[in-house]
A and B are shown apart, each in its own frame.
Chain A
Amino acid sequence: MPLRADMMADLCRIAPELILCVFGILLVALEPFVPSSSKRALGWLAFSGSLVAIASLWIVARHPGPAYGGLIQVDNFSLFFHGIILGSVAVVILGSINYLCEERLQRGEYYALVLFAAAGMGVLAGAGELITSFLGLEMSSISTYILAAFRRDARKSNESALKYFILGSFATAFFLYGIAMTYGATGTTRFTGIAQALSISGPTLLAVLGLGMMLVGLGFKVVIAPFQIYAPDVYEGAPTPVTALLASAPKVAAFALMLRIFYVAFGPVQHIWFWAIWISAVLTMCAGNFAALLQTNVKRMLAYSSIAHAGYILVAFAASTELGIAAVLFYLAAYALMKIGAFTVITHVGGRGERHLELSDYAGLAKKQPAIAACFTLFLLSLLGLPATGGFMGKFYAFQAGLDSRIIWLVVIAALNSIVGAYYYLRVILTMYFREPAGESGPDAGLGSEIEWMPQPVAASIWVVLIIAALGTLYLGIFPSRVMEFALRSAASLR
């Protein structure tokens, strides 16, 4: 049967996912034939796969509209999210290659799972219907469960993966239950259909229950309070490049789905979910920031910081205007860049076996490797929200959207929380620049002082990742208008 034009167009609309799946399968199939000395090549194959997927976005952009009868929606919104997700995944793959060599984990399956996860997230970004989005969510989740456990010999990695798996499945069950209830209330699983049914019937009890259930499931995936308890353990135990992935792409994709469900499908009942988001934003910001104050492990501290950032994103989410949606999109782009950058520094400093994750290991880093310290400083300042960084512009737009929508108290709480955040970000910077390595006062001073620990020389691929992340962060901070314009157009296409 020849391919008809409309089928061809549908295939073009899911081109990135197709490419990612093909490369994933190729990696698994090639794995046994590649000698263990040149497994690194598989990493480069995966990287090129993600680049091809990014390139295919141009094909996708030329075929806007619904695909497969509305199951997938191609618009500016999905393109924006595809850009963030695929970019993050490409950079994370690049950052993993060296790490896997050192940990002797260089395996094709690792890269294949990253690509499959990316395909799942791509489905999430474009889904126009609940069943499809559920499958995309599961695909990205299951891949990341396994990736979190990839350091099989490390007890912490196993523990974190098991926690992630059990709680994640639980959250998925909630999400599925929510889908069933929504279907029961509205008779459809399509977002536009749900919106139509709700605008006729008003908020029925069953539909609101369904939305609540879906909020539980999605809240787990985007790591907002009160569903954030698992995140620090998982982020700390997972291999650091996987943590970089977990903190960026899946969260971004889950936010895409959350935006579509809340704004498109449940747009007519906005007044009901507004307060849920409001309360969750406050809880998330406070839980993340105040717990981060107490951490001495830098990896764990950044895990708490990413919880806090989800809270700031919720401030823009609660604004319920087009500017608010655009602010969420912009914030997610800036957030993904700086988080990947920061975790890549941690990957590098952690060294073989991830032994150097404590704050004291960062003492004197500015003298040992000034460039790495400078990059880390940039990412931390961006996370803190200093002007001329992407993090600042993200917060700026988010707070502006909040003020425009008159949710002033929420913005005030968010601003206060940013000040709290300054303490723990600046502490790391001060440690890097002003504390002598192997501090005399530390409890493990005796161990460290004998042989002064030096981080390994920086691998070329790590450099590339850091430079991309640093330039991106600066670009978003200094020239935000182009990205923000695109974010505004994406937000407009959502409504």
Chain B
Amino acid sequence: MNGAGALDQVFFYFFAALAVIGIVGVVTRRNVIHSAIFLITALLATAGIFLQLQAEFLFAVQIILYVVGIMVLFIFAIMLVHQDVSLKQLRYSRQKWVAGVLGVILVAEFWFALDKGGSLFHPGAPISGGLQPNTEQVGQALFGGYMLPFEIASVLLLVAMVGAVVMAKRRI
């Protein structure tokens, strides 16, 4: 157990460091494409942390949805707008101090939540012995008890698609 725990910690710090480096890269790079690549790194690292927490469903969703789906959209969007304009723009303009103050407040908030949050909000007890294999459970809930919301969501997507076509088509 001890050895496995140590290995766990090694993996956790590896993924966490990768995520932090990736996120710092996203905000500091001047080239938007580089930022996008860094974002992919950060998202993949987060997926790794999910896997380590035995939430393999979240791991798969994170990769399929964020890394593949949304990132491809991002990169397409970046390619379609004029990049050379954004390269010339100053990255940190007037908001430097505001951002600094907000960042400090955020860190204080995190510290407060981690320190006091447990006694203030009474969260539910953590599940003992790790999570059950959850992909099947998610599937069973989705197609069993929550069949109706699942179907409503599919109609919702249809509505959104019809709406996008109505709004974006050149001539209706």
Contacts and interface: CB of A to CB of B under 8 A. Distances in A.
A116 B124 contact: no
A113 interface: yes
Given A119-B155, A138-B156, A205-B121, A131 B149 contact: yes
Interface in A125-180: 131-132, 135-136, 138-139, 142-143, 145-146, 149-150, 152
A132 B148 contact: yes
A14 interface: yes
Contacts of A132: 148-149, 152
B172 A143 contact: no
A69 B120 CA distance: 33
Contact of A204 (B122, B152, B160): B122
Interface in B113-164: 120-124, 145-149, 152-153, 155-156, 158-160, 162-163
A142 B149 contact: no
Interface residues of B, number: 23
Contacts of B123: 184
Contacts of A71: 145-146, 148-149
Contact of A135 (B121, B145, B153): B153
A28 B124 CA distance: 46
Nearest to A10: B148
A205 B162 CA distance: 41
Contacts of A21: 155
A112 interface: yes
Contacts of B153: 135
B166 interface: yes
Interface residues of A, number: 37
Nearest to A123: B152
B155 A143 contact: no
B167 interface: yes
A206 interface: yes
Interface string B97-113: 00000000000000000
B124 A109 contact: no
Nearest to A110: B166
Nearest to A129: B149
B171 to A, nearest CB: 10
B147 A28 contact: no
B162 A112 contact: yes
A210 to B, nearest CB: 11
Given A68-B147, A109-B166, A150-B166, A136 B159 contact: no
B119 to A, nearest CB: 11
B160 A135 contact: no
A25 interface: yes
Contacts of A149: 167
B14 to A, nearest CB: 30
A135 B162 contact: no
A287 to B, nearest CB: 31
A299 interface: no
A142 B166 CA distance: 13
Contacts of B148: 14, 67-68, 71-72, 132
Contacts of B172: 105, 107, 109, 152
A116 B157 CA distance: 11
Of the candidates B120, B122, B149, the one having the most CB atoms from chain A within 10 angstroms of its own CB is B149
Given A109-B166, A146-B167, A152-B172, A135 B159 contact: no
Interface in B24-39: none
Contact of A113 (B122, B145, B159): B159
B166 A139 contact: no
B103 to A, nearest CB: 22
A423 B3 CA distance: 80
Interface in A35-83: 67-69, 71-72
Given A109-B166, A113-B163, A152-B167, A205 B156 contact: no
A213 to B, nearest CB: 14
A387 interface: no
Interface string B55-73: 0000000000000000000
A404 to B, nearest CB: 37
A187 interface: yes
B124 A135 contact: no
A136 B152 contact: yes
Contact of A116 (B120, B122, B155, B167): B155
Contacts of A120: 156
Contacts of B147: 68
Nearest to A158: B167
Interface of A: 14, 21, 25, 28, 67-69, 71-72, 105, 107, 109, 112-113, 116, 119-120, 123, 131-132, 135-136, 138-139, 142-143, 145-146, 149-150, 152, 184-185, 187, 204-206
15 contacts: A71-B148, A71-B149, A113-B162, A113-B166, A116-B162, A120-B156, A135-B152, A139-B156, A142-B159, A143-B163, A146-B166, A152-B167, A152-B172, A206-B121, A206-B122
Given A142-B159, A184-B123, 6 more contacts: A71-B146, A71-B148, A135-B156, A139-B159, A142-B156, A146-B166
Rank and list the top 8 A-B pairs by shortest CB-CB distance, nearest first.
Answer: A146-B163, A135-B152, A68-B148, A116-B159, A206-B121, A132-B149, A139-B156, A109-B166
Interface of B: 120-124, 145-149, 152-153, 155-156, 158-160, 162-163, 165-167, 172
